[in-house]
């Protein structure tokens, strides 16, 4: 993918609107400097003195941040936040990305999903991660909120050139009714879906499993990703992408599967969030008119940028993607 092609693609991406449906999660990093810790008088513990706190959008929110970083005309998030402190902080994070907040619904009965990571550092430079504190919903959305999401999705879909879906949480924003609407929308516009556990429930949309999720969606027994992609495409009636970690991805349309190689990033790498960046970049490029294999190649490049961002999910910008292309 040469520089001229990328420049042209970015100028077209600047004209597209991408709707992102998924759970906005808050990723928290609390850095504790244990050199400052003094034994507690009340308990036999050394407290974690937090000297730095970082907050960023995770889950579907990370896909939204990634779409925004690519410089699209508009990001239209469709999600639900709680009326809690985490919802407040997530909304603050949205101020750093250009996204239209109209589809961010507040429901005071919901928990804003959040993953808080305490990180300890002592005398050496090594950072140790303590067990994470997870906040998640344990029950489905109310029908009232679900109706609000359906209405927000209807509005956003009418304006969008593509819809990216992050269906990751058991009691998340993508309920069976919302999934049904997404499958219906997939018949008339590009809808691209990522889901660890529910990819098998989609039809008429472009699904983007990794090779293990693809095999799982077929009931196991598929070791060849191209064969898995073809079998899934026959089932969904739409193109399929199977991502292959540092090897790239397979794009399959009808009976045709092509392997789109990526350049493995030099270690150290942090693959957390690579799938989110891939989904965001593919959706933006495909919405901008790139053909499937080209949009996959572009997504490989964007994800290749974020796997180099250690200890954070991260986003990829135009200049970072161009720099990586020149390097490779």
Ligand X SMILES: Nc1ncnc2c1ncn2[C@@H]1O[C@H](COP(=O)(O)OP(=O)(O)OP(=O)(O)O)[C@@H](O)[C@H]1O
The single residue among 82, 172, 273, 314 that binds ligand X, judged by CB under 6 A, is 273
Residue number with the shortest CB distance to Mg ion?
275
Smallest distance, Mg ion to C-beta of residue 210, A: 5
What is d(CA 73, CA 266) in angstroms, rounded to the nearest whole number?
32
Under the criterion CB under 6 A, does residue 34 sit at the interface with ligand X? no
Q: Can you list the positions of beta strands (E) in the chain?
A: 17-22, 24-33, 50-59, 74-81, 104-106, 114-121, 127-129, 133-135, 162-166, 191-194, 206-207, 240-243, 248-253, 256-261
Between 23 and 276, name the residue whose CB sits nearer to ligand X.
276
Helices (H) and strands (E) in the chain, counts: 10, 14
Element (DSSP H or E) covering residue 7 = helix 3-13
152-to-38, 77, 101, 178, 230 alpha-carbon distances in Å:
50, 9, 11, 11, 33
CB hemisphere CA count around 95 (13 angstroms)? 7
Q: Are 203 and 236 in contact (CB under 8 A)?
A: yes
Smallest distance, ligand X to C-beta of residue 68, A: 18
Tell which positions 218-257 bind ligand X, by CB under 6 A: 243-246, 248-249
Sort residue 312 into left (φ over 0), alpha (ψ -120 to 50) or beta: beta
Tell which positions 104-123 bind ligand X, by CB under 6 A: none
Helix, strand or coil, per DSSP, at residue 78: strand
Site string for Mg ion, 224-263 (x = CB under 5 A): ----------------------------------------
Between 68 and 313, name the residue whose CB sits nearer to ligand X.
313
- In the chain, what is the straight-line distance between the N-terminal and C-terminal CA atoms, in Å? 10
Tell which positions 278-297 bind ligand X, by CB under 6 A: 278
The single residue among 82, 248, 275, 314 that binds Mg ion, judged by CB under 5 A, is 275
What is d(CA 114, CA 133) in angstroms, rounded to the nearest whole number?
8
248, interface contact from ligand X, Mg ion, none, CB < 5-8 Å by kind? ligand X
Smallest distance, ligand X to C-beta of residue 268, A: 10
Between 71 and 245, name the residue whose CB sits nearer to ligand X.
245
Residue number with the shortest CB distance to ligand X?
275
With CB under 5 A as the contact rule, which of the stretches 48-56, 77-85, 158-166, 275-283 interacts with Mg ion? Answer: 275-283
- Residue numbers at the binding site for ligand X (CB under 6 A): 210, 243-246, 248-249, 262, 264-265, 269, 271-276, 278, 300, 303-304, 307
- Residue numbers at the binding site for Mg ion (CB under 5 A): 275
């Amino acid at each position: 993918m040469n520089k001229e092609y990328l420049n042209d693609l970015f100028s077209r991406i600047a004209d597209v609107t991408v709707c992102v449906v998924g759970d906005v999660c808050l990723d928290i990093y609390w850095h504790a400097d244990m050199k400052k810790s003094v034994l507690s008088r009340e308990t036999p513990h050394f407290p974690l003195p937090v000297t730095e706190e970082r907050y960023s959008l995770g889950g579907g929110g990370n896909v939204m941040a990634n779409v925004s970083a690519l410089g699209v005309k508009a990001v239209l998030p469709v999600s639900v936040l709680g009326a809690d402190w985490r919802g407040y902080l997530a909304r603050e994070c949205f101020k750093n990305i250009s996204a239209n907040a109209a589809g961010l619904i507040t429901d005071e009965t919901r928990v804003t999903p959040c993953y808080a990571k305490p990180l300890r550092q002592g005398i050496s430079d090594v950072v140790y991660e303590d067990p994470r504190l997870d906040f998640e919903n344990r029950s489905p959305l109310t029908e009232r909120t679900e109706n609000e999401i359906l209405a927000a999705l209807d509005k956003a879909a009418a304006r969008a050139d593509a819809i990216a879906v992050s269906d990751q949480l058991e009691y998340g924003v993508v309920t069976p009714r919302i999934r049904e609407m997404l499958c219906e929308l997939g018949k008339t516009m590009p809808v691209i879906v990522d889901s660890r556990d529910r990819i098998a429930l989609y039809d008429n949309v472009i699904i983007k499993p990794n090779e293990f999720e693809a095999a799982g969606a077929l009931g196991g027994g598929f070791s060849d990703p191209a064969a898995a992609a073809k079998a899934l495409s026959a089932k969904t009636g739409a193109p399929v992408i199977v991502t292959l970690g540092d090897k790239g991805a397979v794009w399959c349309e009808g009976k045709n599967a092509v392997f789109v190689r990526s350049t493995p990033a030099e270690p150290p790498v942090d693959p957390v969030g690579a799938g989110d960046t891939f989904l965001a970049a593919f959706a933006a490029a495909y919405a901008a008119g790139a053909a499937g294999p080209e949009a996959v190649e572009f997504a490989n490049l964007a994800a290749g940028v974020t796997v180099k961002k250690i200890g954070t999910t991260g986003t990829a910008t135009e200049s970072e993607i161009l720099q990586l292309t020149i390097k490779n």
